[in-house]
Amino acid sequence: MSLSEEVQHLYSEPGIGATYINTYGELNIKNLVEKYRSLNESEMQEMLAIVIDFSKSFDLSASYLSVGVLHALGQDSAVEEAYQWAQKQDNPLNFTHHYDIGKSLADYYTKTP
């Protein structure tokens, strides 16, 4: 399985809302961050490009999970770009409210000891 396929799989498994422990995608964000941290430098750059692309997706779950991951990784400029992209959409608050949720989930579920 390619890195791109692995990353896409982590966005969908486990299913968001399928269990009480993944109501909002908590595990998806945690697993994506852990995957990123396990990669070598070139793979990190490849995954980061994928996550940045997904942060500006009309797929709301992919975009807010991505913003959460980017926030957890300290990619502040990419997070800001996603918010700017959202402001240009028909319903920007729909995106930005979800982005805020993704950032909060990342703050709680990806803290390193």
Instruction: Give the pLDDT score at 20.
Output: 86
82-97 burial by CB neighbour count: b if 16+ within 10 A, else e?
A: beeebeeeeeeeebbe
Q: Which stretch of 29-38, 45-54, 86-95, 101-110 has the lowest confidence by average pLDDT?
A: 101-110
* Domain layout of the chain by residue ranges: 3-109
Which residues make Cβ contacts (< 8 Å) with residue 69, sequence separation at least 6?
29, 32, 33, 36, 51, 102, 106
pLDDT category at 113 given cuts 50, 70, 90 is low
pTM of the model: 0.94
| Rounded distance between C-alpha atoms, residue 103 and residue 101, angstroms | 5
Dmax (CA) of the chain:
40
Amino acid residing at 31: N
How many helices, marked H, and strands, marked E, lie in the chain?
A: 6, 0
Instruction: Give the pLDDT score at 40.
Output: 98
Does 19 have pLDDT greater than 90? no
